[in-house]
Amino acid sequence: MRENKNTNNKKKKSLTLAQKKEFCKKRRDQKLSGLSIDTTLPNANNFREKSSVYPQLEEVMSIWVDQQISRNLTINGSIIQQKAVECANLLDITNFSASAGWLSNFKQRNNLHIYKKKGEAGSVPIDELPQIRAELQEILQVYELKDIWNCDETALFWRLEPFKTIAHDPVLGKKCSKERVSILATCNASGDERLPLVFIHKYETPRALLPFSEMLTLECRSFL
């Protein structure tokens, strides 16, 4: 005899914050039936985002974090927690410990995430940039584009393997090699002429490149 399936054993799924907002919006627009909404979110009018217990401290810390970001200074969770404790003492707030939970909620309320710094643009003096650009244009206007040259170096991690591979099962990775060489590339502003690449290495004549020395169109330089 077939056993009847018990529908009461269905697992309940928790909704994310975005899903709850969407339900509230659809409820107001009357795009879903009342039964569909009420069984999921009993009272849409009671939906609120969690606010800070210390609003004054929240405002001070938000301003401080924005100032550090505008100055391109590096901050992390520990620094924010330490500064929050200092500000709490100045505001005579007791029983505040800047816990990991407070930090997580603070970052969520202020849309803060961890990002990796890239490039060197952060070292450029933004306030002085218009003046520097005008001075450079004045210097270069007496030259033709073909006579204006620019160079930059780039790193080549020549022993670094690709991070992805084809296999039947998950593959264990190996420690990444940090061996690198620097290559200097130079060309003019018109783009019709390029200088041979400069290979910057520890040795002027690397042994690995000896068999290919006549084939390579680059110049080797060593700096000990």
pLDDT at 177: 80
pLDDT at 21: 73
pLDDT at 173: 81
pLDDT at 84: 94
Amino acid at 224: L
**What is the rounded distance in angstroms from the CA atom of residue 186 to the CA atom of residue 174?**
35
User: Residue written as tokens 């018109």?
Assistant: 190
pLDDT at 129: 79
Please state, as a whole number, how many other Cβ atoms lie within 10 Å of the Cβ of residue 3: 5
The stretches in the chain having pLDDT less than 70 are: 1-14, 26-50, 119-124, 203-224
Q: Which two tokens stand for residue 53?
A: 């217990």
**Which pTM value belongs to this model?**
0.45
- Convert the pLDDT of each residue in 79-121 to its tens digit: 999 999 999 999 998 889 899 999 999 999 999 998 887 766 6
pLDDT at 166: 76
pLDDT at 103: 92
Residue spans per domain, the chain: 14-46, 55-101, 145-162+176-224
pLDDT at 172: 83
Q: Is 139 helix (H, G, I), strand (E, B) or coil?
A: helix
100-109 and 55-70 helices, crossing angle to 10°: 70
